[in-house]
Structure 1
Amino acid sequence: MLVLTRKVGESLVIGDDIEIKIVDVNQKSVKIGIEAPKSISVYRKEIYEAIKQENIEATAQENIVSLLDYIKKNKP
């Protein structure tokens, strides 16, 4: 992991088209701004993890429905 020190108003750049800027710092948090192309999804980690879990659950349900359909169609 790369660890950098930045002050309010300073930025870092990832690749050619992503800029992360330190907007504000207080005792308990850091506010950052992210400029990235619309084609790049940017999520807070807890939101990303929730989306990932929902996708796993949806896929599992889809697989169960497909299996039940297969069983119904192929009953002896």
Structure 2
Amino acid sequence: MLALTRKVGERIVIGDNIVVTVASIKGDNIRITIEAPKEIKIFRGEIYDAIAAENKQAVVPNIISELDRLKAWQIKK
């Protein structure tokens, strides 16, 4: 992890094509801008966590049904 101190207008460059700029600071809030290619997905942390949890939950029932099918196939043999 890298921790940096930046002032308004200062940038952080990630790779060759992502630029994060501090746009404004008001009290405890910091507004940033992110310039990146459209094919790179950018999510707020809480949204990303919710998507990951939903994806993980969606996989579990499929795994169980696959196991049930395998068990049924093994019994028929």
Deviation at 1:23, TM superposition (A): 0.8
Identity rate, percent: 42
Tell me the equivalent position of 2:36: 36
> What is the aligned length?
76
Deviation at 1:73, TM superposition (A): 6.3
Q: Normalising to structure 1: TM-score of the pair?
A: 0.81
Q: Normalising to structure 2: TM-score of the pair?
A: 0.80
Deviation at 1:46, TM superposition (A): 1.1
Tell me the equivalent position of 2:64: 64
Aligned partners of 2:55 and 2:6: how far apart in 1? 36
- Gapped runs of 5+ residues in structure 1? none
Aligned partners of 1:12 and 1:3: how far apart in 2? 11
